[in-house]
Structure 1
Amino acid sequence: MALLDMMAEVGTTGGIGVLRCGAPLADIAAVLGPAEDLGRIDEPHLGSHRFFYGDVEFIVCRCRVVSAIHISTWYDRPLKLPVPGANTVVSFPPRMTYRQVTSALDAIGCPWRLDTRVPDTQVTVLTEPAADSWASFTFASIETSDDPALDEPRLYSVGAWTVLHECPPISVDPPDHNSGLY
């Protein structure tokens, strides 16, 4: 799968393959293997946990469902993402531009709009993958050459999150409690 196709997938589904907002951690781990654990998150997200695969960081609610995803894309090094169907993390060349990402969203019919609440130094594109979720693509102008055509705003970060999330009752000993997922 091409990198721009994966970015368009974030805009339409709120994730990449099985790693998406609303997905149970156990289902993701069954496909991609155990995620790297970044630890618990303090208040106000009591019981939430941070994990990552490559450059994709995600938050799992206390009910073990993904509530947010973040991808830092500003690096000048290859971008590492879990690839749907490959069940592994793959490196991609960095530096996607505003025009490339919005064209990829347009190509699959994903409606988007500009977020007018951002500073003048940024451009943020918002999509609504589902009634209760959002995805954002934030671009920053980065002057890197003498050619102004190459200085188009570049993708700085990608995020997806659920707006409303109500945890179901959690049993005292959920099935994946001691499986190494956390």
Structure 2
Amino acid sequence: MNVQQTLAAFGATAAIGPLRCGESLNDVVAALGAPWDIGRVSERRRWPHLFSYGDVEICVCRCRRITMMCLQAWRDTIALPAPGSATIASHPGGLTLAHVTDALDAIDCRYRPVTLHQPPGQMALEAATTGVAFTFRTDVEAQPLLDTAGSWTTTHTCAPLPSDLPDDGLGAP
């Protein structure tokens, strides 16, 4: 699967392999191995915490559920989990608006422009059924370039953690 197909599938399903909002980090670790630790969201608290699998960054709640995913697509090379394995595969970056819309059209994933609150030099498309947002830089010489693609949960109920919960190696609760 190439990067355009992965992006289109992300738009259609809001998932990249086992990575999806609401998924248990421990289940993802079982499928992909340990993530890279990016760091805390807040200086004062361990959770929520940022991890990544290649260029797919995930924000994880203390209950170990993924609450946000962001594919950093602005790089020259984009690293993504390879389908069905724990390997990270590299793909060429520099994806244009046409690359993304052609890939979405190829799988009949409908999208619409995001017109609210777009800063200068930026435009966005949203997948109609999943809400995955594709953000493009428009302040470039050629076609708009994909900057990020992201998904997030709008609500999250975090169940209390048991006091005897063992350390899962991803940080203390």
- Judge same fold: TM > 0.5, yes or no: yes
Runs of 4+ with >3 A deviation: 43-46
The one-letter code matched in structure 2 to 1:115 is V
Q: Matched residue pairs, number?
A: 169
Query: For residues 99-118 of structure 1, what are the structure 2 equivalents within 5 Å?
Result: 99-117=98-116, 118=118
CA distance in 1, matches of 2:22, 2:13: 10
> In the superposition, relative to structure 1, how do residues 159 and 45 fare at CA in structure 2: closer, same or farther (>3 Å)?
farther
CA distance in 1, matches of 2:129, 2:156: 15
Deviation at 1:128, TM superposition (A): 4.9
**Superposed CA offset, 1:80-108 (max 9, x none):** 11122132101000111111211211222
Helix, strand or coil at the partner of 2:8: helix
The one-letter code matched in structure 1 to 2:125 is V
Work out whether 1:16 is the aligned partner of 2:16.
yes
Quick check: 1:105–1:111 contact (8 Å CA) kept in 2? Answer: yes
Work out whether 1:163 is the aligned partner of 2:162.
no
Query: For residues 1-182 of structure 1, what are the structure 2 equivalents within 5 Å?
Result: 1-42=1-42, 47-75=47-75, 77-117=76-116, 118-130=118-130, 134-141=131-138, 142-143=140-141, 151-174=142-165, 177-182=166-171
**Sequence identity percentage:** 40
The one-letter code matched in structure 2 to 1:181 is L
TM-score under structure 2 length normalisation = 0.88
CA distance in 1, matches of 2:18, 2:70: 15
**Superposed CA offset, 1:133-180 (max 9, x none):** x3110111322xxxxxxx111101111111111112322233xx4231
Helix, strand or coil at the partner of 1:125: strand
Q: Superposition RMSD on alpha carbons, in Å?
A: 2.0
TM-score under structure 1 length normalisation = 0.84
Q: Which residue number corresponds to residue 148 of structure 1?
A: none
CA distance in 2, matches of 1:111, 1:102: 9
Quick check: 1:78–1:94 contact (8 Å CA) kept in 2? Answer: yes
CA distance in 2, matches of 1:28, 1:78: 23
> In the superposition, relative to structure 1, how do residues 47 and 17 fare at CA in structure 2: closer, same or farther (>3 Å)?
same
The one-letter code matched in structure 1 to 2:113 is L
Quick check: 1:24–1:66 contact (8 Å CA) kept in 2? Answer: yes
> In the superposition, relative to structure 1, how do residues 126 and 43 fare at CA in structure 2: closer, same or farther (>3 Å)?
farther
Quick check: 1:18–1:84 contact (8 Å CA) kept in 2? Answer: no
**Superposed CA offset, 1:24-53 (max 9, x none):** 001110011001112222289872111011
